[in-house]
Amino acid sequence: MEVSVINYGGIITSLKAKDRNGKYQDIVLGFNSLPPYEDENPYFGALIGRYGNRIANGNFKLDGQSYKLDINNPPNHLHGGIKGFHKVVWNPKEIINDRDVSLELTYLSKHMEEGYPGNLDVKVTYTLNNEDELSVFYEAVTDQKTIINLTQHSYFNLSGDFNQSILNHKVKINANQFLPVNKSLIPTGNKLNVSMTPFDFRDYKEIKKDINADDLQLNYGNGYDHCWVLNDYKNGYRLVASAFHEESGRLMEVYSDQPGLQFYTGNFLDGSLPQKGEGFYNFRSGFCMETQ
């Protein structure tokens, strides 16, 4: 495989993998040049921080003190704010050996940047090895108690054809429960069993099977945009999800030590953003699996 990363936003701009016939194609959504990444876009390929996902009304309390964050997804704070980690320039360092190649990215997020307390030294290391495994390793040190939730926001389309939707991909998520949300996509605090619901991906299932079901949660997210409560969290690093595209033969497996996985099906892509080739990214032309 081949991965391309820029140090603006730590963005994965392409990920090339072969199909069942040995043909290499790019399988992640993105742009051909830097300016569209600098403009507003749906976090294509970006590192997310300080805090992935939504914080209700841009407010949180820590040790009795209230902190106010920017509202960039009204009425909520989303993915680190207006200038989150997806909009900063990281310091890059290449590490190459016989088994793998790594790109080490570092960034100092200063105290009260985007409203978060503490100076936060962050290091994210991308590594691609000879077994076609791409790993993302997150590290951070703070000088003051703070909150953090780092993740990676690539949009995948394993067909390699961005004119195709992702609805015929088969997905499996190792989770017995998911987090229901309210109208503004904030978790309610409950956990619901996936059994007998459209959110049951314990066995391989085509995304299209239940995505248009008459379900309040799907209506809120305009499709899947929810956090699954991953099984076996206490066991640490384990297989948490996989996606398979039958026509191309491409299989992607996701391993993580995290308790949650946000599965998002590109429900807000609307045909307005240009593809790397010809055409535009249409509704549900990519999916995300954000461990968190």
Residues carrying an active site annotation: 153, 290
Is the bond leading into 50 cis (omega within 30 degrees of zero)?
Answer: yes
Give the pairing of strands 100-109 and 91-96: antiparallel
> Cα–Cα distance between 128 and 14 in angstroms, integer?
13
Residue with tokens 């961005």: 162
Cβ–Cβ under 8 Å, residues 242 and 253: yes
What number of CA atoms fall less than 13 Å from residue 143's CA on the CB side? Answer: 8
CA proximity to 50, closest of 82, 4, 92: 82
